[in-house]
Amino acid sequence: MAESKEDWREQYLGLTTFLANLATAEIAELFTFDESVAKLVGARRTPLTRLGLVLYIEFLQLTGRSLNSVQMIPPAILEC
């Protein structure tokens, strides 16, 4: 039986920071969002605001927690 998208995310529930060692496939899966998120993010004024919003939304979906505003974001995630 194939593992669902939600099954592999369960290991990240409750984390308070992004993991520095997320696999490329995990990063791609986490930061590929649907049209509703793209519209919400695209309506923001600056690239930095859009980046912050995407990071916040995806971290919340990944961990169920809010992203600390001073947390260092791993370079691989920023590159994605």
Sign of CA dihedral 7, 9, 10, 11: positive
What is the structure's pLDDT at 4? 54
- Total domains in the chain come to 1
CB 48 within 8 A of CB 56: no
Q: Which two three-digit tokens encode residue 46?
A: 């600056």
- Closest among 80, 51, 55 to 67, alpha carbons compared: 55
Structural domain that includes position 20: 5-79
Series of mean pLDDT values for 10-residue runs along the chain (80 residues): 58 78 82 80 82 83 77 78
CB 18 within 8 A of CB 73: yes
Q: Which two three-digit tokens encode residue 74?
A: 């791993």
